[in-house]
Amino acid sequence: MNPSEKEAIVANLPYGDGFKFVDQLLELTDDHVVGMYRFRESEYFYKHHFNDRPLTPGVILQECMAQIGLVCLGAYLLRDRDQKPRLVFTEAHVIFKGQVLPETTVIVTAKKEYFRFGKLKVIVQMVDEHENKVAEGWLSGMSVKS
């Protein structure tokens, strides 16, 4: 896949700037996706999540994994459909193993476990820029008409 196709997937994600947790897709195939996001100190949730030492909420980390692992991979897998369905997050089992502080870049890797009948399940992992594991588990989603 060429860089402009990856950029188009990121540009067309159904999220506004305040809730898009994908900066770049590094790899994207029928079987896996690797993407990254930098959690900037200016993110809205840091102002209120532990006032004395801001920390990225786990739900936001899981959302980042879902956007890269499910929505981006799903958009790629559904790219040849006449209608452009969206993949929505439906289920997860994620174990957190580390923290993400402001100004940390994370890398999300998701491997397709299955994609059938509009349902996608991926095995997902998040590491920080120093390759420390932040989270791992599985996520699933399903396509819905836009």
Q: Give strand pairing partners of 35.
A: 25, 108
- Residues 33, 73 contacting (CB under 8 angstroms): yes
Q: Hey, how many other C-beta atoms are within 10 angstroms of the C-beta on 139?
A: 23
Tokens at residue 42, please? 């200016």
Is 49 annotated as catalytic?
Answer: yes
- Residues 122, 89 contacting (CB under 8 angstroms): no
- Residues 37, 68 contacting (CB under 8 angstroms): yes
Q: Which residue has the tokens 């196709």?
A: 5
Q: H or E segment at 119?
A: strand 119-128
- Residues 29, 19 contacting (CB under 8 angstroms): no
Please tell me which residue in 32, 48, 49, 130 is annotated as part of the active site. 49
Residues with catalytic annotation? Answer: 49
